[in-house]
Amino acid sequence: MALSVSAILLAAGRSRRMGQPKQIMSINGKPFISHCLDHIAAAGIGDIVVVLGAHRREVFQLIAGRPMKVVFNWAPQSEMADSVRLGLSAVDLGASGVLICLSDHPLVAGDTYQRLVDFHRLHPDKIVIPTFRKRRGHPVLFPKALIDQVFSGFHMRQIIDRSTQAVEGLEADDGGILWDIDTPEDYDRACRSIAKAG
């Protein structure tokens, strides 16, 4: 059976702590969501589902025309698992794995996405979590059969905890997997880090 990976990019958050839509903020000259979509596509993933919510109009204007599917989470008080369920309902039925990506992690290196996909093709039954200096980060690639447990009411963390034998850490030389940009302070630190590295 041919193995194929679909990606769900979660971009439905309200950005309450940031005070403005994170998805459309720029870092290194490009919006967060564009960084994510470019790297997903570069990893050879053709089936991309973007879940939009509170700031759907502003975000959609940035990404319209890209080869992707868009679904909407209309419930402002919903949890991440609800957006994952919506995304899963739209992925290709033949997908063997699903990469769960977060739009507030724009600093993940493109090579990390590719390595996760390559690892899945060798070990399709594993939940693959990138690590940096032994710390787990994002995105996470789930076998389709395991991530479907969200339809039974489980959250992703619970699925990981229930499937410890299937979890595999993939060491990445990529501190970007840990950069969760939620607040103006996080954003300032990320911008300073890029400026220093450049």
Would the pTM count as exceeding 0.85? yes
CA–CA separation, 149 vs 167, rounded Å? 15
- Main-chain phi, psi angles of 51, to 5 degrees: -105, 115
Q: Provide the 10 A C-beta neighbour count for residue 75.
A: 12
Summarize pLDDT for 71-116 with one digit per residue, the tens: 999 997 889 999 999 999 999 999 999 999 999 999 999 999 999 9
DSSP, residue by residue, 100-118: EEETT-TT--HHHHHHHHH
- 36 pLDDT band (50/70/90 cuts)? very high
CA–CA separation, 135 vs 131, rounded Å? 5
Q: Provide the 10 A C-beta neighbour count for residue 110.
A: 16
Residue extents of the structural domains in the chain = 5-197
Helix (H) or strand (E) holding 48: strand 47-52
**What pLDDT was estimated at residue 198?**
61
Query: Is residue 172 scored above 60 in pLDDT?
Result: yes
- 41 pLDDT band (50/70/90 cuts)? very high
**What pLDDT was estimated at residue 193?**
85
Q: Could you tell me which residues are beta bridge partners of residue 176?
A: none
Closest alpha carbon to 23 in 80, 67, 61: 61
The fold of 5-197 is: Spore Coat Polysaccharide Biosynthesis Protein SpsA; Chain A (3.90.550)
N- to C-terminal Cα separation, the chain: 44
User: Could you give the percent of the chain with pLDDT greater than 90?
Assistant: 85
Query: Is residue 7 scored above 90 in pLDDT?
Result: yes
> How confident is the model over 12-39, as a mean pLDDT?
91
